[in-house]
Amino acid sequence: MREDTIRSFAKINLSLGVLGKYNKNFHRIETLVSFIDLNDCIKIKNINQKNHKVVFDGKFSKKIYKKNTVTKLLSILDKKNLLNSKKYKIRIKKNIPIEAGLGGGSMNASSLLNYFLSKNKKKLAQNQLLEICNEIGSDVILGLKKKNSILLGDGKLIRSKSKLKLYTLMLKPNFGCSTKMLYKKVKKYSKPLLKKNHANFSIKKLSNLNNDLEIVAFKKYPVLKRIKETMKTLPKVSFVKMTGSGSCIIAFFNTKKASLNGAKILKKKYKNYWCILSKTI
């Protein structure tokens, strides 16, 4: 049977404000996100079996739970009869590290949701899409369109037509950060800062925006703060931020040449850490 291939691109947070709590378990946030060309490769094939089969391979395929974003999505689509009673084998080559703040698992679910709705010619209203996404994870909705986006504190999602033409240099130490744990440690909440005009993505605006989770992450893992301070000294770097709940720290550059030079410096200093160049899409 025919096998289709799709790409699931990594998400980066250019800002992340924790505004408060919806309830005991969920926080209210505002975030400015973009996407980079680092991606997981997903192969999908219809199979004549009673159950779906999901397989992960690649460098970052370890430590993925049997129940994950992809199996959750398939279960939801089956219940809603959005797969026309078909079963699929899905093989995902994980190039995006887990517990890095790059949304790898959530973006896998987003990409597959788009694929299945298109493949089976299903059209859903926005509230139906949001319901499915929220059952899997709060950031899944962001990946349905690979556009720079602002998620406001009231849940409103603003998509931008603007392109962010930046080169990224990412460094991740040999540990991940627990999103749940970091949010629990947030004691002070921010006031809303993002507005529609932030979608213009000027370097000055971006460099002045913060990630509230950096405070608690740096306290728990001081090495992350040291990495960020080192990256801020790289020649011609525009700004440096931790993405999401980490542990990946990202340096942003205006030119490919500057990012390549920065990579040489970082790889020499942090020989045993994951370090990769990418660019916004």
139 is catalytic: yes
Average pLDDT per run of 10 along the chain, which is 281 residues long?
Answer: 94 96 82 96 97 97 95 98 96 97 97 96 94 93 94 89 92 95 93 73 86 97 98 98 97 98 98 97 93
Q: Which of 156, 72, 142, 151 is nearest to 111 (CA)?
A: 142
Q: What pLDDT, on a 0 to 100 scale, did the predictor assign at position 13?
A: 97
Same domain (yes/no): 18, 155 = yes
The token duo for 106 is 């959530």
Active-site option among 40, 93, 139, 228? 139
Same domain (yes/no): 56, 186 = no
CATH number, domain with residue 120: 3.30.230.10
154 is catalytic: no
For residues 168 and 269, what is the distance between their CA atoms, to the nearest angstrom? 18
For residues 146 and 211, what is the distance between their CA atoms, to the nearest angstrom? 21
Same domain (yes/no): 142, 209 = no
Q: What pLDDT, on a 0 to 100 scale, did the predictor assign at position 162?
A: 83
Same domain (yes/no): 128, 209 = no
Same domain (yes/no): 178, 139 = no
Domain count, the chain: 2
Q: How many residues does the chain have?
A: 281
Whether residue 29 contacts residue 18, with contact meaning beta carbons closer than 8 Å, is answered with yes
Q: What is the secondary structure of 122-188 as a DSSP string? A: ----HHHHHHHHHHH-TTGGGGGS-S-EEE-TTS-EEE-------EEEEEE-SS---HHHHHHT--S
Same domain (yes/no): 154, 172 = no
Q: What pLDDT, on a 0 to 100 scale, did the predictor assign at position 203?
A: 85
pTM: 0.94
Same domain (yes/no): 185, 119 = no
Q: Which of 98, 129, 159 is the last residue of a domain?
A: 159
Q: What pLDDT, on a 0 to 100 scale, did the predictor assign at position 210?
A: 94
CATH number, domain with residue 249: 3.30.70.890
Same domain (yes/no): 218, 134 = no
Q: Which of 159, 192, 213 is the last residue of a domain?
A: 159
Same domain (yes/no): 21, 132 = yes
Q: What pLDDT, on a 0 to 100 scale, did the predictor assign at position 75?
A: 98
DSSP letter, residue 191: P
Q: What pLDDT, on a 0 to 100 scale, did the predictor assign at position 197?
A: 59
Q: What pLDDT, on a 0 to 100 scale, did the predictor assign at position 200?
A: 61
Same domain (yes/no): 27, 131 = yes
Whether residue 10 contacts residue 36, with contact meaning beta carbons closer than 8 Å, is answered with yes
Same domain (yes/no): 152, 177 = no
State how far Cα 52 lies from the chain centre. Answer: 25
Residues spanned by the domain of 187: 167-279
Q: Which amino acid is at 3?
A: E
Q: Which of 131, 159, 187 is the last residue of a domain?
A: 159
Q: What pLDDT, on a 0 to 100 scale, did the predictor assign at position 7?
A: 98
